[in-house]
Amino acid sequence: MALCTRLCNTRCRYWCLRLFVCMWVCLALTMIPLLKLLNFDTTDNSNECTKPGNRCHPMDLPKQVHQMWKTDIVPKKWKRHNNHCKKINPTYKFILWSDGDIEQLFKDYYPWFLPMYYSYPYNISRTDAARYFIIYHYGGVYLDLDIECKVPFGDILTTSTNKNIVLGSTAPFGITNSVFATQQKSELLNRTIQGLVEDKGWYGTPYMTVMMSTGCLFFYKRYIEFPLKDSVYMMTVEQQKHFFIHRHASTWHSWDGLLVRWMDRHYYIIIVGVTIALIVAVFLILRRICRKAHITLSHKSI
């Protein structure tokens, strides 16, 4: 009996060790692409105009900046840096869209979208959708009111190649819809508008519903599916820090939005925590299997 027990323990330890090593290998193979994903950058080009010998020219975009607020008056907390943007861009026309102006745009040109516009459960979803329609219809730059300009748009909207769309990548992945620029009737925004109908729905929490149906993740999906990426100039996160100061109003964020933002800032802690939890869980399962095998063998010996 003692011999059988010893053999059982040895065999269990052998298989536990093999399974433990296999689990670590699988985790390593899983974590490598995950870490690459978390450091993924949507841009595959730097600003060509910073390279020596390149001749740059302004992008062929309308010189107008579109912004949105509930009324036609810029809130006091954003007025100073909004005036600064206007000051360093004297050749651009700044247009502030109120809720009433947006509704009128839909009534005049896109009445088919009005029922969906009214059906959104969150106001931020309506403002997300509206910005795509505004820039699609008029072209130019969209700029959130909580973003301050550090350099003139002329320093940003220049290229040495045939690009007519400007987007900004975000960390760890994705693109922002807080600032972007395109020509009038852009094919990217046409696809984005059509996607509003396809992706409308509930995604588990208010934050994820907004992000997936109208917000940044929705916009990112449309970019991924866009075939003409050569026409897109993608600003890196570092370039955006040089071009803008984002005051991050985020007035629409609820508990789930704050949780997601915390997870984004501390994703390495989450990865380590999940890895440890998996290791402990597998160890406990294997130990339980070994104990059952030991008991079964002991009964047989008796």
> What is the helix (H) or strand (E) element at residue 173, kind and residue range?
none
State the Cα–Cα distance between residues 301 and 184, nearest whole angstrom.
83
Q: Kindly report the number of other CB atoms within 10 A of residue 70's CB atom.
A: 11
Report which DSSP code applies to 43: -
> What is the helix (H) or strand (E) element at residue 147, kind and residue range?
strand 147-149
pLDDT per 10-residue tile (average), the chain, 302 residues? 49 55 50 45 50 69 96 92 95 97 97 96 95 98 95 85 89 87 96 95 88 93 94 92 81 50 59 77 76 61 58
pLDDT of residue 235: 93
Instruction: Give tens-digit pLDDT for 11-65.
Output: 555 555 555 555 554 554 444 444 444 444 444 444 556 555 556 778 889 999 9
Provide the token pair at 151: 């350099």
- Give me the residues paired with residue 166 across strands: 181, 233
State the Cα–Cα distance between residues 112 and 19, nearest whole angstrom.
58
Q: In terms of pTM, does the model score above 0.85?
A: no
pLDDT of residue 61: 93
Fold of 48-254: Spore Coat Polysaccharide Biosynthesis Protein SpsA; Chain A (3.90.550)
CA atoms within 13 A on the CB side of 92: 28
Domain parsing of the chain, residue ranges = 2-38+266-301, 48-254
pLDDT of residue 42: 44
CA atoms within 13 A on the CB side of 170: 16
